[in-house]
Structure 1
């Protein structure tokens, strides 16, 4: 099972040569960055654990990856969601269908709102040694274990290429991966600057996520706010246009995070006099549910 040492390739997009760290080529069940975030739970022993409690969206990459983790470890996954669409229940697809096939139980949360669900599950796990609670999207200190290994791979490549500086871009949900990458490079005094854009919320929300995981802001990555406001999970024509342009490079990207990540990279690139790297965080299974949504919203763009 390949959970480390993903290759680096180079593509040309919109006049820029960009290196791609291909974490999408890690084991597909762990959707790139989840292989890094969940590595601690995969490699460490939890002798009393029989059940994992998680929460998030029914189409979250983390749902599928947690289901794979639990199958490998012999655990039962109970994954709680705020909302389970009737269309998805009737026609399972994407990460939801794949997680069910791996034995996950996807359940309606007994309380509403992310913080309330997290608190509820934390309390359950605290009172039961057989339960392990994993935060939404792997947003927890344990994620640093695997993300530091990713940072080490990038640092080794950077040194082998004899670079003097590097700009590393990635889009952020919880910001966990970006934070622990930046922390590693700064602690090791490497001239690798991490840039990230908020996809789930705004810059203030992302900064709050960083602060919760690491109070020392000198270790934080640089947040680049998108040029315009996009609502997470909505379908935008310019996302689809850019996604199609990216796929012409021979590398397939995903439709939820990557379009905004690449927009951020391309808007920032002209201000940087250094090589560029984009972290491909996987999540391609989500395209099987995102593409039909784009087809329903923009049928004229799929007429050919």
Structure 2
């Protein structure tokens, strides 16, 4: 099964050339940045582990990816959430539905304070040192691709939740890594970086306005649909829409764009689009 070495594809968007690292195509069940973050646990043996415990939102991409990991490894999976909307309980969809089908045990409660020897705790969104294992492989793929195509001046972009992927990419790449904060603000993202590394951080691009994570914004829906129309690639509505708004603005205002190539890393997470698209259609397709 192919969990690494994703395709890099050239696209044109609004008359600007970009390359897209298609991590959404890694594997139908285990793709995107979560596949990179959890690759360490997939590839190594954990003889004593019988259960994985994690937490986050009820439509998290990490939740679904962990459910696939646990099913593959034969582990139990307990996932803690603050709240599950009654509508979602009655009408399972997206990451929630498919994680349940992978035998996830979802718990509406606080996370336990301690864990047994046969339990593996993984922080929300995969913000862990072990994530560096798979992200270094991603960085090596990018370096090999750039070398093959004789690209010396490259800017690499990906949107951030916890910022773990962007942080470790910058550690392992000779190119500048750009990102934007999707979940919190820039200060939140810097704190996330500092929890894992002390220096050599990616560049955080400023957003034109404040966005609340999970809220519906017309410009997110519009750029999502425009990307499909122009590139025939579907991107994640939660992270990639804001990511493309920030990245495109950066490239547009970048003085030396004729001297550089621009690589966007696809975050995967398309199962989450199932419920998001229904919400967007209901609000904006009138």
Shorter-chain TM-score range: over 0.9
* Structure 2: runs of 5 or more not aligned: none
Runs of 4+ in 1 over 4 A off after TM superposition: none
Secondary structure of the structure 2 residue equivalent to 1:29:
coil
Corresponding position of 1:68: 68
Corresponding position of 2:51: 51
Kept in 2, the 8 Å contact 1:24–1:32? The answer is yes
Cα RMSD between the aligned structures? 1.0
Secondary structure of the structure 2 residue equivalent to 1:198:
coil
Corresponding position of 2:240: 258
Kept in 2, the 8 Å contact 1:151–1:184? The answer is yes
Corresponding position of 1:278: 264
Kept in 2, the 8 Å contact 1:202–1:225? The answer is no
* Structure 1: runs of 5 or more not aligned: 111-116
Kept in 1, the 8 Å contact 2:160–2:180? The answer is yes
C-alpha deviation, 1:298, in angstroms: 1.8
Kept in 2, the 8 Å contact 1:143–1:176? The answer is yes
Quick check: 1:268 aligned with 2:258? Answer: no
Kindly report which structure 2 residues correspond to 1:74-85, keeping only aligned pairs within 5 A, or say none. 74-85=74-85
TM-score with structure 1 setting the length = 0.91
Distance in structure 2 (CA, Å) of the matches to 1:277 and 1:260? 16
Kept in 2, the 8 Å contact 1:31–1:61? The answer is no
Kept in 2, the 8 Å contact 1:31–1:284? The answer is no
Which residue of 129, 132, 135 corresponds with 2:123? 135
Corresponding position of 2:114: 124
Distance in structure 2 (CA, Å) of the matches to 1:82 and 1:194? 33
Distance in structure 2 (CA, Å) of the matches to 1:33 and 1:195? 15
C-alpha deviation, 1:28, in angstroms: 2.4
Distance in structure 1 (CA, Å) of the matches to 2:48 and 2:137? 27
Kept in 2, the 8 Å contact 1:2–1:26? The answer is yes
Secondary structure of the structure 1 residue equivalent to 2:195:
helix
C-alpha deviation, 1:164, in angstroms: 1.5
TM-score with structure 2 setting the length = 0.96
Secondary structure of the structure 1 residue equivalent to 2:274:
helix
Distance in structure 2 (CA, Å) of the matches to 1:43 and 1:236? 39
